[in-house]
Structure 1
Amino acid sequence: MAFAQPYTRKHRKQAAYPAWFLLPAAIIYTIFFLAPTFASLYFSLTRWTLFDATFIGLDNFAQFFREPFLVQGLVNTVVYAVITSGLKVVIGMLLAVLLTSQIVARGYLRSVVFFPVLVSTVGVGITFTVLMHPTTGMINQALAVFGVKGPGWLVDPKLALFSVALVDVWKGVGLATVIFIAGLVAIPRDYYEAARIDGGTKLQNFFYVTLPLSRPATVTVITLSFISGLRTFDLIWAMTKGGPGFASDTIASVIYKQYQAGFYGLSTAGNVVLFILIAVLVVPLTMFLNRKQGHE
């Protein structure tokens, strides 16, 4: 007990130093995140311009949910996020399993799969806009060779959102694959050896060894892909600008259009709605996935 007091004081004295190292990060976080967040909350309750602001309460939010195209953008955002995140998880996992197996040119194929991640999103959007042209696009021309009439990928209101979502998956699945590869190579080989001794097939190994033990990577991919889908703007704008009509509008593209039209208060309210949407959907999802992971 005689030695406990000096050690405690010394420990407390040393523990004070790391707190000072957090100060620069806290200042940057406050300036670039907390301050703009609270400013957005305030301006969403106003009708504002660059020079003045008039407090109007919740009128911007009421107008936001009264406009049919704004509500459609909200629905499109959730649909887009679910489609893109779901496909990235499934395709990314299958590609990771393939690229961790003993195949020829495995390293080269990994580079090919990851390459679209490095390409500019706007460049990808412009390229696929040309490829998906209903008459002169290479995709429909290739289908015509086999006697199939290609659809209007970006001009059909029923297909536009899904077409952009597929391009998003093509561009982003490489990152999901890399995360899954990291998760798969971290699984001890002893589990597969034990399964082989017990007579397990490759399909059984996948469902009873690979999937459960790669859950941390799966949680990461789901969370990142879902957030990315909810925040999407650049690919939508590069390919369809929310069209035809409002068929492929997401909240982010609607917000941008409102800014262009000069409805700054309404667009700021849209930003707040998007922030709340991400928080309401992603936080419970992450807690649920992490809880399931903890039980296992």
Structure 2
Amino acid sequence: MTKLQRKTYSYMFLLPAALIYFVIFVLPTIMSFFFSMTRWSLTEYEFIGFDNFIAFFQEPSLVIGFQNTFVYALVTCVLKVVLGLLLGVLLTSKIRTKGYLRSVIFFPTLVSTIAVGLAFSMMMHPTQGLINTTLQMLGIAGPDWLGDKSIALLSVALVDVWKGVGFATVIYIAGILSIPEEYYEALQMDGGNALHKFWNIIVPLSRPATNSVIILAFIGGLRSFDLIWAMTKGGPGFSTDLIASIIYKQYQGGFYGLATAGNVILFIFVTLLAFPLQMYLNRKEVDL
């Protein structure tokens, strides 16, 4: 067998995966770019160039949509990193119930996002919800969590964190458990305490896990839609509208070409933010 034949034979094993990737990802992406420049329905289309992009950028709620999307992604990302790290440290310590606690913390990740949104919508009801009823029993007047424009986006973000922090915790547990015991033994010989262990060993040596959580949480926040739609549908007003919810409203109105252009813009927006962030984090990891 010649060198070319061996090389071709090796690539043949990649062909099924490459075909699946092309059909599921590459082809729909190419079609999205094409149909974003058309006025289309399920049976016909008309090429109109960049008119959909121009119309999408003239959307009145677009500016606040971009702002809300970035704030939502930033808040959820930071909280998942911080809470995931702290819970990861707790659940790798010598506590008897850590196996049970790991299951409890990871459980919300397995629940449907729509179900979580609907459940918390009822719990956050200003007068009949469980949260405000409990606060009232303690003599505290609870706010209108989803009806107050100033806190509605933060309220949904906190629910997102509650649901997703378990996945971040699992990544941190894997990262912390991969740290060699020799580092802890050396720290103990030097007289280091628990704070030194956390700050000088766990934080720097779990950086690969931190990078993974940052990328996944940030991209997930930028693309978030289902939880927002289940809880607020973008309201009150435009206070919780994200780019994805604006796009969905265009689909609901029958503006399929305009909504497809919005999806392309969202794809470019996520790429422009996430790719440089990933490059920066990877470079910092190599420097370490």
CA distances 1:203-232 after superposition (whole Å, capped 9, x unpaired): 122111111100111111111111111111
Q: 2:63 is matched with which residue?
A: 71
Aligned residue type for 1:169:
V
**1:128 matches 2:120:** yes
CA distances 1:19-40 after superposition (whole Å, capped 9, x unpaired): 0011111112222211111111
Aligned with residue 187 of structure 1, among 170, 179, 193: 179
Q: 1:3 is matched with which residue?
A: none
Aligned counterparts of 2:245 and 2:185: Cα–Cα separation in 1? 51
Q: 2:53 is matched with which residue?
A: 61
Q: 1:208 is matched with which residue?
A: 200
Aligned counterparts of 2:118 and 2:281: Cα–Cα separation in 1? 36
> What is the CA-CA distance between 1:16 and the residue it aligns to?
2.6
Aligned runs of 1:120-269 on 2, under 5 Å? 120-269=112-261
Give the alignment's TM-score, normalised by structure 2.
Answer: 0.96
**1:90 matches 2:82:** yes
Q: 1:50 is matched with which residue?
A: 42
> What is the CA-CA distance between 1:67 and the residue it aligns to?
1.8
SS in 1 for 2:46: strand
Aligned with residue 24 of structure 1, among 12, 16, 26: 16
**Does the 8 A contact of 1:64 with 1:71 survive in 2?**
no
CA distances 1:156-191 after superposition (whole Å, capped 9, x unpaired): 111111111100000000000000000000001111
> What is the CA-CA distance between 1:54 and the residue it aligns to?
2.3
> What is the CA-CA distance between 1:114 and the residue it aligns to?
0.5
The alignment-based identity, stated in percent, is 60
> What is the CA-CA distance between 1:294 and the residue it aligns to?
0.6
CA distances 1:104-151 after superposition (whole Å, capped 9, x unpaired): 211001111111111111111111001000000010111112221101
Aligned counterparts of 1:260 and 1:156: Cα–Cα separation in 2? 25
Aligned counterparts of 2:263 and 2:52: Cα–Cα separation in 1? 11
Give the alignment's TM-score, normalised by structure 1.
Answer: 0.94
**Does the 8 A contact of 1:227 with 1:282 survive in 2?**
yes
SS in 1 for 2:13: helix
Q: 1:5 is matched with which residue?
A: none
Q: 2:286 is matched with which residue?
A: 294
> What is the CA-CA distance between 1:44 and the residue it aligns to?
1.1
SS in 1 for 2:14: helix
Aligned residue type for 2:219:
I
Q: 1:4 is matched with which residue?
A: none
Moved more, 230-239 or 58-67: 58-67
Which ranges in structure 1 are unaligned for 5 or more consecutive residues?
Answer: 1-8
SS in 1 for 2:39: strand
> What is the CA-CA distance between 1:70 and the residue it aligns to?
2.2
Aligned counterparts of 1:13 and 1:208: Cα–Cα separation in 2? 52
Root-mean-square deviation over aligned CA pairs? 1.3
**Does the 8 A contact of 1:92 with 1:177 survive in 2?**
yes
